Amino acid sequence: MNRDLFFASASGDINRVRSLLEQRENIDAVDEVPLLSCLLTFQNGRTILHHASLNGHKDLVRMLLQYGAKASIADKVTFISSFWQFRRVSLLPI
């Protein structure tokens, strides 16, 4: 798992995410390693697609879907897939 990929996705850095994916990073990797123990912990089974959608990064979400990210993966906390998180933040119409 590339921590940079999760930080870039959460912050909406579309160019950094694209660059990392072009280096063959796993688009559907899940966040199992704490990045900053007190401020930001990514160990909830979310993908970069989850992080992009939860933070409202519409263009990044679209790009990740075009790159083949799976919207059906559910996280370990809410058991909600990326698809339903998209709906919650009104990114994609049904």
CATH number, position 18: 1.25.40.20
Buried b (16+ CB within 10 A) or exposed e, 12-47: bbbeebeebbeeeeebeebbeeeeeeeeeebeebbb
Is 13 a member of any domain? yes
| pLDDT tens column, 17-28 | 999 999 988 898
Is 93 a member of any domain? no
Number of domains in the chain: 1
Is 28 a member of any domain? yes
Is 45 a member of any domain? yes
Is 94 a member of any domain? no
Is 56 a member of any domain? yes
Q: Residue 46: which domain range?
A: 3-88
Question: Could you tell me which residue, 48 or 1, shows the higher pLDDT?
Answer: 48
Write out the two tokens for 80: 């909600």
Q: What is the pTM of this model?
A: 0.74
